[in-house]
Homo-oligomer: A and B are copies of this chain.
Amino acid sequence: MATQWPAAEDRTGREPLSVVDRIKQYILLNRLSPGDPMPTEHELSDQLAVSRSRIREAMKTLSALDIVEVRHGYGTFVGTLSLTGLAESLAFRGMLTSHRDKHFLADLIDLRELLEIDWAPLIVERLDTEALAAMRALATTMVDLAAQGREFPVEDRQFHQLLVSTSGNALVGQLLDVFWQVHSLVAETIGPPTHLEETAQAHHAIIDAIESGSAEALEAAIRRHYEPIRERMRRSAGAD
């Protein structure tokens, strides 16, 4: 199929499309998929009849949203449409507002807990033994690290990814991962972590609950998991 180029005016009588929109149109018109190569900046500049500076600025906008991915000296490609932009935006909001109020972090924790609890019935029903074994190993590592007074961000993140992986809803998995990242970044700014051992143990309890086959037990275990985290937040709020 020949390359399709969007016109500056989508329909006569309407205002001309922005460069960003025309590049998005280009991707849609040519049915490109994540990873597919985009034209060079020079070619886009020619085809859309705008300077390379404008193309570059449009690309910056698009890469911030992970609609395209730019590789220095190599080329530009259709992005993976991940939610990295959301993570950056939320993390910045958290850092900017965490001085004034703690609402943001509290809302974030509530949302994480709520979404995980939503999937509790499905998780116990499907009971993915492979994932469960991996989660058990991660929990053990976390307890070990906690005993040494060390943190365990990598293990914690992976644990929660696995927990929701059985949901079948890719979107909620990605969102929860973003929330995890934002939480992790913002929490750093309010001081060192507390309740390390308690939090690590809470992950074992979550697996126990899943194996028990009771959705209610899992819900309770998830709630208990988030309690020390809320407690830490309350303390830092009081310390201000």
Please judge, given known A-B contacts A86-B86, A89-B86, whether A27 and B67 are in contact too, CB under 8 Å. Answer: no
Interface-side segment among A91-99, A127-135, A153-161, A232-240 = A91-99
A57 CB contacts on chain B under 8 angstroms: 56-57, 60
* Integer count of this chain's copies in the complex: 2
Which residue of B is nearest A67, CB measured?
B92
Which residue of B is nearest A189, CB measured?
B28
CB of A203, distance to nearest CB on chain B (Å):
23
A226 in contact (CB, < 8 A): no
A61 in contact (CB, < 8 A): yes
The answer to whether A170 touches B81, judged by C-beta atoms less than 8 angstroms apart, is no
Chain A: interface size category: 35 or more
Residues of A155-169 contacting chain B, CB below 8 A: 169
A172 CB contacts on chain B under 8 angstroms: 107, 110-111
Taking Cβ atoms with an 8 Å cutoff, the residues of A that contact B are 24, 27-28, 31-33, 53, 56-58, 60-67, 81, 83, 85-86, 88-89, 92-93, 95-96, 99, 103-104, 107-108, 110-111, 114-115, 118, 169-172, 175
Complex Cα spacing A93 to B66, Å: 10
Interchain residue pairs with CB less than 8 A apart (16): A31-B99, A33-B96, A57-B57, A60-B61, A62-B64, A64-B64, A64-B65, A65-B92, A67-B92, A81-B96, A86-B86, A86-B89, A107-B171, A107-B172, A110-B172, A111-B169
Which residue of B is nearest A119, CB measured?
B114
Complex Cα spacing A169 to B112, Å: 12
The answer to whether A89 touches B85, judged by C-beta atoms less than 8 angstroms apart, is yes
| Known contacts A66-B89, A67-B92, then 16 further A-B pairs from the complex at CB < 8 Å, ordered by chain A residue | A24-B92, A31-B99, A64-B65, A65-B88, A65-B92, A81-B92, A81-B93, A81-B96, A86-B89, A103-B170, A104-B171, A107-B170, A108-B171, A110-B169, A110-B172, A111-B172
Complex Cα spacing A63 to B89, Å: 10
